[in-house]
């Protein structure tokens, strides 16, 4: 498969979605679809595959070879977008397509993924850069302002920045973009554990409407002073106290497996401290005697990355 240089070929923007750039080239040159840009194309749908689009564009020196922002857990079938960015900039950003990307920090509004007129979702293949297939302008979608924790989480996802003030992560965390996206996804999942299966959870994250509540919860956990305590309380209150006090330990175990980096040590310590005092109080209610040091030793052993018996 070879990308053919069209007559009009502006450089790709650094944060432009690769498939969106192919769309822009096709529209500038009045081609029916991005498929017209290729020689020996086996499947039109393959163009929406991020890795393939990036590889094709990287091989084309005339395309500018700009670095591409990561869209971890990318939604490759439907567009999500900022209406104000579409109106101002006229191209699709790569970061919009991450399942855990929910807001535009420039305009401080929620991303949307439906047509403002027909209210259908927007397939990448059949959506114009600025219009739905029904003819409605994407820029006409209503906008909703985001709260501060959501803005801070989106900045953390986009740039890795942690604001001054409260956060469960240090400002110098050193996490790559893929790790930041994976962390937000994990937090969203655990905030609803065990209500949602992994399959249903992933399906909910793919749509802005159902993803919003999960992402708000994760943002409050990460960037509100009471967020971690609220999260741990919710875990400890699920169903039987005997079972769900151990759910806090399972959460820390999952962190140890997926995120062994030192920047998570404070979060893990706070969660274990919460469990120890919760377990101590539960033992007292049941008329049992327990030692704080023994509980700490038990908790630290339970969250080692192994299969505790």
Q: For position 76, what pLDDT does the model report?
A: 66
Q: For the chain, which ranges sit under pLDDT 50? A: 69-72, 196, 308-309
Residue 49's φ and ψ, nearest 5 degrees, are -70, 120
Count the neighbouring beta carbons within 10 Å of the beta carbon of residue 34. 24
User: Residue ranges per domain, the chain?
Assistant: 2-63, 165-302
What's the confidence (pLDDT) of residue 193?
57
Q: Measured in whole angstroms, how far is the alpha carbon of residue 221 from the centre of its chain?
A: 15
pLDDT of residue 309: 44
How confident is the model over 132-160, as pLDDT tens digits?
A: 999 999 999 999 999 999 999 999 999 99
Q: What is the pLDDT of residue 95?
A: 86
Q: What pLDDT score does 161 carry?
A: 92
Q: Which two tokens stand for residue 162?
A: 């942690």
Q: Which residue has the tokens 């909703």?
A: 144
Candidates 109, 135, 108, 132; CA nearest to 122 is 132
- Among candidates 9, 113, 109, 112, which has minimal Cα distance to 64? 9
Tell whether pTM > 0.75.
yes
* Cβ–Cβ < 8 Å for 144, 83: no
**By 3-state DSSP, what share of the chain in percent is helix, strand and coil, each rounded to 5?**
50, 5, 40
User: What single string gives the DSSP state of each residue in 182-238?
Assistant: HHHHHHHHHHTTTTS-HHHHHHHHTSHHHHHHHHHHHHHHHHSTTHHHHHHHHHHTS
Residue 123 has φ and ψ, to the nearest 5°, of -60, 135
Q: Where are the beta strands (DSSP E) in 80-199?
A: 103-104, 109-110
């Amino acid at each position: 498969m070879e990308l053919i240089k069209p007559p009009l070929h502006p450089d790709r923007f650094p944060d432009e979605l690769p498939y969106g750039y192919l769309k822009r080239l096709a529209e500038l040159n009045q081609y029916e679809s991005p498929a017209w840009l290729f020689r020996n194309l086996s499947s039109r749908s393959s163009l929406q595959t991020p890795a393939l689009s990036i590889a094709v564009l990287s091989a084309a020196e005339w395309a500018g070879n700009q670095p591409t922002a990561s869209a971890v857990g990318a939604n490759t079938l439907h567009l999500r977008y900022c209406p104000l960015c579409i109106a101002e900039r006229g191209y699709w950003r790569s970061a919009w397509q991450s399942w855990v990307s929910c807001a535009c920090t420039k305009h401080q509004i929620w991303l949307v993924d439906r047509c403002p007129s027909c209210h259908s979702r927007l397939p990448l293949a059949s959506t114009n850069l600025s219009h739905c297939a029904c003819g409605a302008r994407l820029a006409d979608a209503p906008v909703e302002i985001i709260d501060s924790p959501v803005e801070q989480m989106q900045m953390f996802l986009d740039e890795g920045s942690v604001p001054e003030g409260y956060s469960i992560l240090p400002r110098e965390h050193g996490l790559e973009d893929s790790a930041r996206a994976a962390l937000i996804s994990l937090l969203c999942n655990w905030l609803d554990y065990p209500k949602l299966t992994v399959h249903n959870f992933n399906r909910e994250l793919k749509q802005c409407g159902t993803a919003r509540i999960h992402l708000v919860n994760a943002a409050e956990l990460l960037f509100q002073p009471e967020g971690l305590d609220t999260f741990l309380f919710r875990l400890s209150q699920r169903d039987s106290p005997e079972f769900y006090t151990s759910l806090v330990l399972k959460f820390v175990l999952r962190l140890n497996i997926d995120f062994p980096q030192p920047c998570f040590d404070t979060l893990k310590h706070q969660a274990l401290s919460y469990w120890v005092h919760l377990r101590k109080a539960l033992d007292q209610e049941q008329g049992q005697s327990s030692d704080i040091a023994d509980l700490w030793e038990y908790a630290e052993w339970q969250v080692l990355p192994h299969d505790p018996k």
